[in-house]
Chains A and B, each alone.
Chain A
Amino acid sequence: MMPIPSPIEADTDSRREFLRNILAGTATATVLMVFGPGAMALSDPTRRTKNKAKHQFAYVININNCIGCGNCVRACNKENNVPASVFRTWVERYVVTDEGVYVESPNGGLKGFEAVNKKLRQNFKKSFTVPKMCNHCEDPPCVQVCPVGATFKTEEGFVLVDHAHCLGCAYCVQACPYAARYIDPIKHVSDKCDWCYHRVKNGKLPACVTVCPNKARLFGDLKDPESEVTKIFKEDQWMVLKPHMHTDPTCFYIGLPREVV
Chain B
Amino acid sequence: MSGPSSTSHLYRLGIVLVAFFVAAVLVGWWAVPSSWNFDVDHWYRKDALIDNAQKPMVYGGNESCKDCHEPAMKKLAKFKHRALSCESCHGPVADHVRGNKKFAAAKVDKSRWQCENCHQEQINRPKDFPQFSKTGDIGKFVKKHNLLEKKTLCLECHNAHDPTN
* Chain A residues proximal to chain B, CB less than 8 Å: 64-71, 75, 78-80, 93-95, 111-113, 115-116, 120-121, 124, 127-129, 143, 149-150, 152-155, 160-165, 194, 197-199, 201-202, 204-205, 207, 210-215
Pick the residue among B58, B60, B117 that contacts A69 (CB under 8 A). B117
Stretch from B43-51, B96-104, B153-161 at the A interface: B43-51
**Inter-chain contacts of B61 with A (CB < 8 A):** 204-205, 210
The docked-state distance in angstroms from the alpha carbon of A69 to that of B113 is 11
B118 within 8 A of A: yes
Pick the residue among B33, B123, B125 that contacts A124 (CB under 8 A). B123
B55 within 8 A of A: yes
CB pair A211 B52 closer than 8 Å = no
* A–B complex contacts, Cβ < 8 Å, 7 sampled: A65-B126, A68-B124, A115-B123, A121-B123, A127-B124, A154-B44, A202-B53
**Inter-chain contacts of A197 with B (CB < 8 A):** 52-53
Task: For B64, give the chain A residue with the smallest CB separation.
Answer: A204
The docked-state distance in angstroms from the alpha carbon of A121 to that of B123 is 7
B41 within 8 A of A: yes
Pick the residue among A93, A115, A210 that contacts B121 (CB under 8 A). A115
B85 within 8 A of A: yes
**Inter-chain contacts of A165 with B (CB < 8 A):** 33, 45, 48
B111 within 8 A of A: no
CB pair B57 A67 closer than 8 Å = no
Pick the residue among B42, B48, B88 that contacts A211 (CB under 8 A). B88
Given that A68-B124, A69-B117 are contacting pairs, would A75 and B41 also be in contact in the complex, using a CB cutoff of 8 Å? no
Interface size class of B (residues with CB under 8 A): 35 or more
Pick the residue among A129, A161, A162, A163 that contacts B124 (CB under 8 A). A129
CB pair A152 B43 closer than 8 Å = yes
Given that A68-B122, A78-B92 are contacting pairs, would A194 and B52 also be in contact in the complex, using a CB cutoff of 8 Å? yes
CB pair B58 A112 closer than 8 Å = no
CB pair B122 A75 closer than 8 Å = no
Given that A69-B118, A79-B58, A213-B84 are contacting pairs, would A160 and B52 also be in contact in the complex, using a CB cutoff of 8 Å? yes
**Inter-chain contacts of A143 with B (CB < 8 A):** 43
In the A-B complex, the 5 residue pairs with the smallest Cβ-Cβ separation, listed nearest first, are A152-B44, A162-B48, A198-B55, A127-B124, A211-B85
B54 within 8 A of A: yes
Residues 111-148 of chain B: 1 if any A CB is under 8 Å from the residue's CB, otherwise 0?
00000011011111110010000000100000000000
